[in-house]
Amino acid sequence: MAESGVRLTGDWPEFRRAVRNLANFPFAKFHAFAGETIINQTQARFDSERGPDGKPWPESARVKRFGGKVLTDTARLRNSLSKRADGDKVIVGTNVVYAAIHQAGGEIKAKRKPRLVFNIPGVGIRTAKKVKIPARPYMGFSPEDRRELAEELRGLVKELTKK
């Protein structure tokens, strides 16, 4: 009877050692790096006024009228980004209440009164039943983010498999 199969040759003790070393992968270190990378790249988007996909953010009425940068009137949103990283995960986010409406867009309606009221510098008091906020995604992964994280991951794996 004919035999069939595959025969693998190589430095099996070295391979086993490398695989054992991968069990010591520094997930907490990688997650901390990933969190910092995401924060840095997200903050850079406030300078470029572009989303992770590279598309420019729609200008706000404030920027059209007075100049300045989109989403950067006080820089509160940009400066509020934080991370929590451990061996299991990394969480990057903000506790600013208006963050989600800027990320995803949406409509703001008056809740307790019939109309929203705005005091616009140089214009005065204005009212509206609702205001549409266009999406200006600032968080997310760009191709550059993915490359940077993959490079770090490769470096850590290479470091572990050398030992």
Residue that the structure tokens 């993915």 belong to: 146
Pick the most confident of 6-15, 67-76, 149-158.
Answer: 67-76
In percent, the amount of the chain with pLDDT more than 70 equals 94
Average pLDDT, rounded, for the chain: 90
Q: Output phi, psi for 93, to 5 deg.
A: -175, -165
What is the percent of the chain with per-residue pLDDT over 90, rounded to a whole number? 72
pLDDT tens per residue, range 75-125 = 999 999 999 999 999 999 999 999 999 999 999 999 999 999 998 888 899
Sequence ranges of the domains in the chain: 12-104+138-162
Per DSSP, helices labelled H in 23-118 are 27-48, 61-66, 76-79, 99-104
The amino acid that residue 105 corresponds to is G
* Cα separation, 39 vs 82, whole angstroms: 7
The reported pTM is: 0.80
Angle, CA of 97, 98 and 103, to the nearest 5°: 125
Asked if the model's pLDDT at residue 65 lies above 80, the reply is: yes
106 phi and psi angles, rounded to 5 deg = 155, -170
Query: Each residue of 126-148: pLDDT tens digit?
Result: 999 999 999 999 999 999 999 99
Instruction: Give the largest Cα separation in the chain, rounded.
Output: 94
Q: How many CB atoms lie within 10 A of CB 25?
A: 15
